[in-house]
Amino acid sequence: MVQKPAFAGFQSIDGETTDADFEDAWRRAIIFLGSATNDELLDDSLHPHELLFRLFSEDGVRAFDSSPFAMKCRCSADRVQNVLVSFPREEIEDMKIGEDVVVTCEFCNVDYRFDADHIDTIFKEAASG
C-alpha cells in the first residue's frame, strides 16, 4: 500500500518543486509499486525494506520507524448530541424511530440511541446556553 502525503511545497535540490513534479513523483511511485510481483509481496523471507529498495532505489529510500496501526473513531455520544442540537427540533422529531433517535456513525458503524427524555434535555440545555 502506498499513501500520498499532502503536498506541502517542499524544495528539491534543483529548485522549486511544483504541484506537477509532485504528481509525477506520485505516478512513478504507483507504477513502481505496481511492478512488484505477487511473489515479492508475499515472500516472508523478503524484508519490506529490501523490497522498497528494489522498487525505489533510483529515487533513494528512507525508512521511518514503524508506528502501530489501529482502528480508532473519534465519535462519542457527546459529539453526536452536539450535532443533533444543531438541527431544528422538528427535524429531530422526524428522525425518531418509535420514541428514540438513533444515529449511526458512518465511520465505525456504532449506534447512538437517545430516548425522547434525553432529546428534551439536550435541547433544553442548548436553549439555556
Residues forming the site for Zn ion (CB under 5 A): 73, 75, 105, 107-108
Q: Are 92 and 101 in contact (CB under 8 A)?
A: yes
Beta strands in 1-129 (DSSP E): 11-12, 15-16, 101-104, 111-114
Nearest to Zn ion of 61, 75 (CB atom): 75
Q: Which residue's CB is nearer to Zn ion, number 62 or number 74? A: 74
Minimum CB separation of residue 69 from Zn ion in Å reads: 17
Minimum separation from the CB atom of position 72 to Zn ion (A): 9
The SS3 assignment for 82 reads helix
Instruction: Provide the minimum distance between the beta carbon of 122 and Zn ion in the complex, in angstroms, as a whole number.
Output: 19
Residue 104, C-alpha cell as written in the block: 449511526
Instruction: Kindly state the smallest distance separating residue 5's Cβ from Zn ion, in Å.
Output: 25
Nearest partner of 99 among 118, 83, 124, judged by Cα: 118
Residue type, 70: A
- Residue placing its CB nearer to Zn ion in the complex, 6 or 71: 71
Selection from 107, 80, 108, 75 nearest residue 95 by Cα? 80
Q: Which residue, 2 or 108, is less far from Zn ion as judged by CB?
A: 108
